[in-house]
Amino acid sequence: MIDSSAFERLRGIGLTPAVIQELVALRHFCTEPVLMRVTEVQREGIRLHDGGSEHAARLLPALRATLAVDGEAIAVGDWVLAQQNPLAEWWAHERVPPVNQLVRRLHDGRDKVTRAVIVSNVDTAMLVMGLDHDFSLRRLERFVALAQMARVTPLVVLTKADLCEPTAERVAQVQALLPPEASVVAVNALAADTRQALAPWLQPGQTLVLLGSSGTGKSTLTNTLMASEVANTGANRSGDSRGRHTTTARSLHATPHGACIIDTPGLRTLRLDGEAGDLGAAFSDIAQLAGQCRFRDCCHQDEPGCAVREHVPHERLKNYNKLLREARRDTLTALERKVQVQQWKARGRHARVRAEAKRG
Ligand SMILES: Nc1nc2c(ncn2[C@@H]2O[C@H](COP(=O)(O)OP(=O)(O)OP(=O)(O)O)[C@@H](O)[C@H]2O)c(=O)[nH]1
Ligand SMILES: [Mg+2]
Ligand SMILES: [Zn+2]
C-alpha cells in the first residue's frame, strides 16, 4: 500500500517507520484505503492530509463507535485509512493505532472524570513558556510530566526573550526539571532566526506539538516556523499580560523544512492522566532516591533518614505530592463510578426479571 514515492510524500506530514509498523498489523476493511493524517478535528467532520493536499472528511459512524467503546476519540496527529464514496466524499474507515498519545483528564468539578486525548503520534513536545509573567516552574513541571508519561521528549521554548532577559539562573532552573536528554531554548518567537535555533528538532518526518498556557506565543511560533501567517495570534491583556485564548482548535501544519507542527489552544488547567506509578517515570529522580530512604515505605513527609527530602528541592517534592494526590483522587472516583454502573446494571436486571415474572 505504501511504495517509496508514497513514503516520501507522507514523510512530509510526519509518517515514521513506527507508524508503518502499526499500519501493517492492522486488518483492512475498506477496499481502496488511502493513508492520511488528521490535521483538524471539528464538531462534525475532520480534515485529512494526504501528503499533497488537504481534504474535508468524516468519520464512519462505526469507527466513532469502536473508538468510543475504548474511551477513545480521533485526535489531531492520528493516521487513518480513508476512502472516497461514489459522491467523492472522503470517509475515514479505520484509525491506525497511535504510537503515542498526550492525554489529560477532564474533571467536571464533581465526580465525573474523562480521559481526553490532546494529540497523537508526536516526537517532541514543545513546551512554550513566556519569560514574562507566565514563567512558572511548577506549571512547567506538570507539562514535563505530561510529555514524559507519554514517553515523548520535552523541549522547553522560553519566549519573549526580547522583552525579558533569559537569565542563566532561570535557564538552569528549567534544565533542572528536565530529563538529561531534553533541552531548553530561549527565543523571540517573532524573529525569523528562531527557525535556525529550533532547526535540530525540525528534521523531515518529525512531528512537534506546541503546548503551554494562553498568550505564550504558540501561534506566533507556528507562523515563524511556517514562514507564513497560518495561525491567528492575539495581543495579550495589558494589565497582567495574560493571553486571550485566541486559538480555539488544534491544527497540524507541514513546515517548509519537512517537519510538522501542531498548534494548540492554551490549556487553562492540566490534569495528568495516569496512575501513581506513571508519575514515577516523570519524576525519576524521586523514584531513584526513594530506594535510599531508611524506610521502604517512606512517604518522604517527616520520616527520619529520608533521602528524597534531603536531595530533592522542597518545591519540587511538594508539587510531586500534589500531582500524586490528584492522580489518586481521580482514580478513586473512576473506580467508584465503575461500581456505580455495575449497581445500575444489576438493578436493571432485577427490574426486568420482576417485570417478566409479573407477565409470566
Ligand atoms: N515581543 C514578543 N512578543 C511575543 C513573543 N511571543 C509571542 N508574542 C506576542 O504575544 C501575544 C500572544 O501570542 P500568541 O502567539 O497569540 O499566543 P498563543 O500561545 O498562541 O495564545 P493562545 O492561542 O491564546 O493559546 C501576541 O501579541 C504575540 O505577538 C515573543 O517572543 N516576543
Ligand atoms: Mg494561539
Ligand atoms: Zn523518603
Question: In this structure, what C-alpha cell is assigned to residue 193?
Answer: 532566526
Q: Are 118 and 103 in contact (CB under 8 A)?
A: yes
pLDDT at 7: 87
Does 159 sit in the ligand 1 pocket, CB within 6 Å?
Answer: yes
Torsion of CA 240, 242, 244, 247, to 10 degrees: 170
Question: In this structure, what C-alpha cell is assigned to residue 239?
Answer: 494589565
What number of CA atoms fall less than 13 Å from residue 341's CA on the CB side? Answer: 7
| Nearest atom, ligand 1, residue 212 CA | 19
pTM of the model: 0.88
pLDDT at 309: 95
pLDDT tens string 278-314: 888 888 889 899 999 999 999 898 899 999 999 999 9
Does 251 sit in the ligand 1 pocket, CB within 6 Å?
Answer: no
Res 29 pLDDT > 70: no
The closest of 51, 53, 54, 52 to 11, measured between CA atoms, is: 51
Does 242 sit in the ligand 1 pocket, CB within 6 Å?
Answer: no
Q: Is 336 helix (H, G, I), strand (E, B) or coil?
A: helix
d(CA 36, CA 83): 10
122-138 mean pLDDT:
96
Does 166 sit in the ligand 1 pocket, CB within 6 Å?
Answer: no
* Local confidence band at 56 (pLDDT 50, 70, 90 cut-offs): very high
CATH superfamily, with its number, for domain 101-263: P-loop containing nucleotide triphosphate hydrolases (3.40.50.300)
Q: What does the buried/exposed string (b/e) look like for 70-84 if buried means 16 or more CB atoms within 10 Å of the residue's CB?
A: eebbbbbbbbbbbbe
Q: How far is the CA of 212 from the centre of ligand 2 (A)?
A: 10
Class in CATH terms, 274-340? mainly alpha
* Local confidence band at 71 (pLDDT 50, 70, 90 cut-offs): confident
Tell me which residue has its CA closest to atom 32 in ligand 1: 160
Could you tell me what percentage of the chain is helix, strand and coil, using 3-state DSSP and rounding each to the nearest 5?
Answer: 35, 20, 40
pLDDT at 61: 94
User: Ligand nearest 298 Cα, by number?
Assistant: 3
Does 241 sit in the ligand 1 pocket, CB within 6 Å?
Answer: no
* Local confidence band at 332 (pLDDT 50, 70, 90 cut-offs): low
The closest of 153, 251, 207 to 15, measured between CA atoms, is: 207
Residue 187 vs residue 242, higher pLDDT: 187
Element (H, E) at 352: helix 314-359
Q: How far is the CA of 290 from the centre of ligand 2 (A)?
A: 40
pLDDT tens string 76-127: 999 999 999 999 999 999 999 999 999 998 877 766 778 899 999 999 999 9
Does 250 sit in the ligand 1 pocket, CB within 6 Å?
Answer: no
Res 359 pLDDT > 90: no
Residue 112 vs residue 197, higher pLDDT: 197
User: Ligand nearest 289 Cα, by number?
Assistant: 3
Element (H, E) at 66: helix 61-69
Tell me which residue has its CA closest to atom 7 in ligand 1: 217
138-148 mean pLDDT:
94
Give CA separation, 2 vs 9, 15, 141, 168, in Å: 10, 11, 40, 48
Does 163 sit in the ligand 1 pocket, CB within 6 Å?
Answer: yes
Residue 22, classified by CB atoms within 10 Å of its CB into exposed (0-12), middle (13-18) or buried (19+), is middle
Does 249 sit in the ligand 1 pocket, CB within 6 Å?
Answer: no
Question: In this structure, what C-alpha cell is assigned to residue 212?
Answer: 503551554
User: Ligand nearest 235 Cα, by number?
Assistant: 1
Res 70 pLDDT > 90: no
Domain ranges of the chain: 4-95, 101-263, 274-340
Q: State the pairing for strand pair 101-107/271-272.
A: antiparallel
**Lowest model confidence (mean pLDDT) among 206-215, 223-232, 339-348:** 339-348
d(CA 206, CA 204): 6
Does 129 sit in the ligand 1 pocket, CB within 6 Å?
Answer: no
> Which residue spans within 121-225 are E strands per DSSP?
124-130, 153-159, 183-186, 207-211
Give CA separation, 157 vs 21, 249, 328, 330, in Å: 31, 21, 31, 30
Q: How far is the CA of 289 from the centre of ligand 3 (A)?
A: 8
| Nearest atom, ligand 1, residue 236 CA | 11
**Mean pLDDT across the chain, nearest whole number?**
90
Res 334 pLDDT > 70: no
| Nearest atom, ligand 1, residue 247 CA | 23
d(CA 211, CA 237): 20
Does 234 sit in the ligand 1 pocket, CB within 6 Å?
Answer: yes
Topology at the third CATH level for domain 4-95: OB fold (Dihydrolipoamide Acetyltransferase, E2P) (2.40.50)
Q: Are 130 and 216 in contact (CB under 8 A)?
A: yes
The closest of 245, 267, 240, 220 to 133, measured between CA atoms, is: 240
Tell me which residue has its CA closest to atom 14 in ligand 1: 217
